[in-house]
Structure formats: structure tokens, C-alpha cells
Structure 1
């Protein structure tokens, strides 16, 4: 027969574990939001000299320093002033076409068959497309910088690439997954990466806002980044 002390002790331990999990989850979400504000996409001289990758900003200011989240290399960097240009986008979907306008960095280069998400500056509509034509003046080119592009023609596509950050304590593993544009990412549910499930704790929305309340959802085409965590296993199992 169990004593009242044993029952009380056992109940207290379960309550403590639940409270600990709650605070750990809350702190985790707060840390994620703070970290997102201290992250930047820049080129890494060690592992990615040609393409931008996610970095953690270690030292902001006039002489900033960042750490690559892919290889861990720490280096200084410069943030160039980015000029933006309004570009006309013609999106075809079967027999229908819609004209949109979006802001793009002038120095960014696009290629035929590139995939990217168009966000209309007038309506706020978001559509993933595959580029079919790059119109530069009276010429059509296989590739061009935004500053030379007058119109981008594209075909609406079903799947888009979504960036996922899988975190465990101080370690972040970046990943990318392909999902339908209308796929729902739900806070509290799992996201599958390389065949493994990771619980979603926060979602960064295009435009800068966060969704971190359990049950909140965002369509894939409106997601900037999904934050998930690696399960931590304790004496009584996962929590």
C-alpha cells in the first residue's frame, strides 16, 4: 500500500517536470525570436563563397562578425547597401494569367527555370512560380540581373522550398524541404526532415511576424522559416 507521502512526492515530481517543460518551451521560443533578429544570410568564405547561407551575428556594428550555421566558421563581413527595384511579374496558371508587382534587389540574378516566391506589393498575394521568360527591353535572355529586367514571366507551381532550423540547445542544423504551397505548418505539430519528425515551436512569416502559439498555422508559401527542436530525452522519456 502506497503511503500518502509517496503519492505526494510522486505528484510533486510530475508537477515539477511539467512546469520545467513549460518554462523550457517558453524560453526556447523567446530565444528563437531573439536569435532570428540576430541572424543574417551572407556568403561564407569557408564553405559557401558563391551562395549565401545563414549566419549567427556574434558582433553587430561597424565591424560585424558572424558564425556560419552550416560549418561553424567565424568571420567578419560587410553588408552592402541594397537597391531595390519594382519588377512586373506575369504569372500564368493553366489558361489564366495575372499581373503582379514585387520588389527585388537590383543585383540579384535570375535564370530561366529558377523557382521563387512572388509577393505582390499591391494585394499582398503570394504565389510560387517557375521562371519561363526574362524580358529585358526588347530581348529575352536566359539569365539577367534584376536591374536589367523589365518583366518576369512565370508559371505557377505547386511545390516550394521551405527553410527549417532544427535546434538543440546552442546547436542549429539548417535544412530545406519541398512541400505544396498550400501546405499548413502548425505550431506544436511535427515537421518531417530526412525521414525524422521534429516538433515545430515557432514560424517566421514573410514580412517579419512570428507565430509561436500552439495551434497557430501558416501556409508554406507565406513562411520565411520554420523553427523546430530536437527532442530531449530525460529519465522519464521525451519532454
Structure 2
């Protein structure tokens, strides 16, 4: 699930024959080409093969779920909030872990070997729900719509957006439960920013001229 190892700890025949030092992997394979970060000596060494396991993955996407599987290092620790690339028959998806199912229940962090099912949410492209009120401020005349966006699209409080034939100014951002790196669950101060895959709902002021006609 993680990228190929770029650094390994092995002994260096030039500067440290008895104590392991950090090496960069220049060329992986049976006989890997390594460079010692202590003395820059380049040499080849047989690296142990990483043991992996096939794990079931459930993906939630736009209100629907489907099953897939992934290969993961047996001794890797994974946790809720982490993202990885998942290859399915239809596409390669970026997914975020939302829960880890073990034999005895669910948890937020576990070693791959102990995990029965990895529950995830697709975050490469996401749906963002929007609640909009008219410029007049009449909150009892709100309307809702949904935006389809790349997961990394940024929204900032007090900034105006033009998306999918909608024009609006962001006033508040309600975050998802699995969003990390934010101080609050709801952002409503000028300059507060969140990316689409972290957003549960946007609260906006409608800036369009026709959206609030009687018909």
C-alpha cells in the first residue's frame, strides 16, 4: 500500500562493516544497488523480500459501496485517515481509510496482519453538498445542490467561486469525520480553507442573478 522503499538500513562495506547505516535504494531488485548516506559508497546487496497479504477493501463512492482487494506488507501499521492507491477492474482509485475491521471489532489503527477488512472512501473525485441562501439573507429560502470535483480542489471562506454554472461565496465549511489537520469541525472565519475530499457540506451565499426568481 505504501510506495516502494527508498531507504534501507544495512552495513556498509566501506565505512561501517559491523553497524547498519541508512542507504538509498538506487536500483531495486534481487541484487539491489545501494548508496550509503554516510560515505556515498555505492554497492550491491541482496535485500530480503517483503512479505505481503491480500486484504479485502470496501469502497464507498457517491452513496454506493463495492468490494475490492489490495496487497499490503504484512507488518505495516495502517490507520484511519491514511490514503492509498487501489487498483480495481474498472479504474485505479485514490481511497482514504475510514475504518479497520478486525476479527473482534473495529479500530482506528492496526497491523495489516490483524486486519480483516479495510473500509475506505474514494477521494480522488468527490461529491460536495452545498446549501445556498440568497444574497438578501433570507435563510428560509435556501436551496441545495451537489458539486462533482477533484478531491484536492480548495475552498476558502469569503472567496467567490464559479463552478458548474453556479456562482457563490463560501461562508462556512462543515468537515467530514475523517478529515485531519484542521482545528475545528466547522470553518467560518475569513481565510479558512479546506479541500473537497474533507468537506461534508458547504454553506454559501448565492451570487447568481437568476437562481432566486419566483419560478
TM-score scaled by structure 2? Answer: 0.42
- Point out the structure with max Rg over C-alpha: 2
Higher helix share: 1
Question: Larger relative contact order (C-alpha < 8 A, sep ≥ 6)?
Answer: 2
TM-score scaled by structure 1? Answer: 0.38
Higher strand share: 2
